[in-house]
Structure 1
């Protein structure tokens, strides 16, 4: 394995003075037009090529009602077309919600009722007629060739003729203010319907600068972010952070452990933007020999075992959420370090971002080495945190009178005064890297004949993350009917097992499921759905 030196940080003025995402894009295209920006492979587009294709669709987007100041839902799988669509909407000055394309149409429709988009742009996914029927429906699946079409009848709106880069100066998005809405990312829906978190241009610019400075990005770097772009990690850290640091930016249509390290070598990636599930998969499914010859010097998110196994000098752990500025704590691990992991630790959050104040259960600057409590954060300037949750009736701002946001996550302060993240306080399930929308799943299975009550919870998986367990009340477990419902759901939402109980434990006041009691409930019947007849 190559000997790789950790980079030296050079904290310059990158990104400072930029007012919006369009200005950031335009500046970086002009600065290094030949830098790669797109899906990793033999024909990855350059910044200039991606920008030319994006520019070619601006007039069509504006005429269709998906341009300046319009609210747009972008629903698609990660691809060059998807990245070009995002780039085009940024340059057009639209306000763009990035939405999980694996969600069923019914869930998408319910979510978009809260957003009320002017347009829905589909990319790499069949459009659903029931989804936002009042909105303009566009197909951006051909934008990697400059083709934009009407989703319903296929009418071509932009035909692939590229536009010269000197038209960048006329991009409508350059007129957006730093505190204008840039877009939305949604929560996982672990406690109900996924909520859209409103993010300003300032939010993304400050996050990108924090990532670029903390991870020492430079124009010598190639950042690989092999995760779906509706997550804050690949978009906020990889794309916006990479552009801020003037790196090359590469995505991946689908993560695969088997082909990962050859791809890393072939692309010359120097920085990896991951999260916990891919890190664990790579540790279990690949070896140091598989990774031999890579040029990676920094990995987010990584732990000491990952660094040692794969010969990476620096790894970053962190704490944050879409609401909490995308990232509000960070810590760097050096290869060879073997810190003592505090009891009950899930992740070492480390030191707070310079723009964020934090406390545990209202105890700012106190309780070192003390008990766990809820993590609360507050920004010391506007635009660092999310603006609120976008609802049908307006923007819900879940901050107290002093600006504190209760994250719903559990943590504590270690002896050094840094954050130790313990777990999501909300009762969450994570499968294949995706948080499961519990409320929606329970609605789906509540309609099964013979089921009088239902709750969804988790069990440990032999691989990575959790497995879904369907707890139900009824005369028997209708495995066939459950399988029929499961087939209509994406794989990460399908229960692995079903357990029949005499009753579901619920709160006596509001009837909320007391999920943690399900672990010790008396099971009358148990069915492994993977082995049950279909």
Structure 2
């Protein structure tokens, strides 16, 4: 790492490449202009009584002003929690009650990022902060309880940004687009900070749109993408090679062979990680000329040099720092920070993995979203991919219910009417017996996270079932 802390990374980039573009595709600023505005907003925060080290919460949708406000907090030395603005008010209130922020900034407060005047970033506390100081908090998805805030230090972000920048082989000539909500580690850590680390343009969008995606990519001359599974699947279903004609994409995060082939993208990076697990601990680069397996996106490849890892006897992934600050700082609790490590420093990710032929990590499934039948863990993504080609089965998800004995039973939740029963029975019969859904629950819609589009599996059992249809 060359920068002393995250604020210095930003100021160094503004000095070395002042014309770097930052913001949404529709509202871009030069980096030097953005830093001056963020410095003015940081000074206003400090003048209002917020002190370095005080927590601030940012609860707003993605915009250029969101980026300016986040940057202002970094410059002020004020740890900022990024909260999903689509959460119900009562859930947000519970989360913020645990956080105890000095100030909560909503969408109406973001305009102050451009009305507070300008300033000199060098005069602000964040520039002199210790690299191990807390910079930000991101929360977990909360699939098994109240979302928890993960402590993110400056070192954490610098190490992550360097790892992703190197994996994508970014240069100052690149224009990176990360079109997802910035309260997630993927767009903020992989995309925006990965780009800034390389001195590349860092762009996002206010809201992901399949209709606008390729026109924006072509018009803006984007050369690198940072995506994840839901938008990749949406783009494969909703757009064509003709829609993407003229693009300049040369590299992307999220390796999917069908996507690379259809849209003529020459290279991609897959990985494994989480907000807790260093943002990403394993990275693997693929060429479009390689034979990508169907689960290429789950191949983590070798671990980063600053992280070590292992699988326990059950196949659970555990990670540990080789260098201080590589992993998250811990979970924020009412009593302080829980480092969430054992006595030897190992963090239990709760995820299941396996080894590939080279001995590298392949992610199998989130432990909290696993299904076990007859002693075997059902590979949920594999089964869902197997069923994805059935005509008429467009929105569905696999989950489970208790079996008659100790086993679980696989249930297919589907928003499909009519149900393509014959094709479904045929496809299910091709699976090993322990992977086969025993019944279909027809529901009005599959519950998904409003921002990321991820299936909320633990909400499936709460959906009103229109019709049950047994498959065996």
Q: TM-score, normalised by structure 1?
A: 0.70
Distance 1:458 1:312 in 2: 33
Secondary structure of the 1:317 match is strand
Q: CA deviation at 1:143?
A: 3.5
Distance 2:451 2:278 in 1: 27
CA 1:77–1:493 in structure 2 vs 1: closer, same or farther (change >3 Å)?
closer
Q: Does 1:352 align with 2:352?
A: no
CA 1:191–1:33 in structure 2 vs 1: closer, same or farther (change >3 Å)?
same
Distance 2:51 2:14 in 1: 21
Distance 2:33 2:232 in 1: 32
Residue equivalent to 1:111: 95
Residue equivalent to 2:390: none
Q: CA deviation at 1:162?
A: 3.1
Aligned positions of 1:377-526 closer than 5 A: 377-427=319-369, 459=413, 526=465
Structure 1 residues 264-318: Cα deviation after superposition (integer angstroms, max 9, x where no partner): 0011100000011001111111111110100000111121111111001101111
Which segment drifts farther, 328-337 or 260-269? 328-337
Q: Does 1:170 align with 2:109?
A: no
Q: Does 1:201 align with 2:154?
A: yes
Q: CA deviation at 1:518?
A: 6.5
Residue equivalent to 1:333: 286
Among 60, 68, 87, which residue is 1:76 paired with?
60
Residue equivalent to 1:290: 243
Residue equivalent to 2:389: none
Structure 1 residues 219-238: Cα deviation after superposition (integer angstroms, max 9, x where no partner): 10000000000000111011
Q: Is the 8 A contact 1:100 1:230 kept in 2?
A: yes
Structure 1 residues 429-467: Cα deviation after superposition (integer angstroms, max 9, x where no partner): 99xxxxxxxxxxxxxxxxxxxxxxxxxx982567xxxxx
Aligned positions of 1:41-440 closer than 5 A: 41=26, 43-123=27-107, 139-143=108-112, 146-147=114-115, 158=116, 161-163=117-119, 167-341=120-294, 347-361=298-312, 373-427=315-369
Q: Does 1:527 align with 2:451?
A: no
Distance 1:402 1:120 in 2: 37
Secondary structure of the 1:102 match is coil
Q: Is the 8 A contact 1:81 1:140 kept in 2?
A: no
Q: Is the 8 A contact 1:227 1:254 kept in 2?
A: yes
Secondary structure of the 2:243 match is helix
Q: Which 5+ residue runs of structure 1 have no aligned equivalent?
A: 1-15, 124-138, 148-157, 363-371, 431-456, 463-478, 497-513, 529-534
Residue equivalent to 2:8: 23
| Number of residue pairs aligned between Structure 1 and Structure 2 | 402
Q: What value does the CA root-mean-square deviation take over the aligned residues?
A: 3.1
Structure 1 residues 173-200: Cα deviation after superposition (integer angstroms, max 9, x where no partner): 1121011111111000011000001111
Structure 1 runs (4+) greater than 4 angstroms displaced: 489-494, 514-519
Secondary structure of the 2:249 match is coil
Distance 2:449 2:302 in 1: 37
Structure with the largest fraction of helix: 2
Distance 1:218 1:263 in 2: 21
Structure 1 residues 65-85: Cα deviation after superposition (integer angstroms, max 9, x where no partner): 334221111111000111110
Q: CA deviation at 1:337?
A: 1.8
Residue equivalent to 2:23: 38
Q: CA deviation at 1:333?
A: 1.4
Which segment drifts farther, 419-428 or 317-326? 419-428
Which segment drifts farther, 394-403 or 421-430? 421-430
Q: Which 5+ residue runs of structure 2 have no aligned equivalent?
A: 371-379, 382-410, 417-442, 468-472
Secondary structure of the 1:526 match is coil
Q: Is the 8 A contact 1:103 1:490 kept in 2?
A: no
Q: Is the 8 A contact 2:168 2:268 kept in 1?
A: no
Residue equivalent to 2:377: none
Q: TM-score, normalised by structure 2?
A: 0.79
Distance 1:200 1:493 in 2: 24
Q: CA deviation at 1:515?
A: 7.1
Residue equivalent to 2:422: none
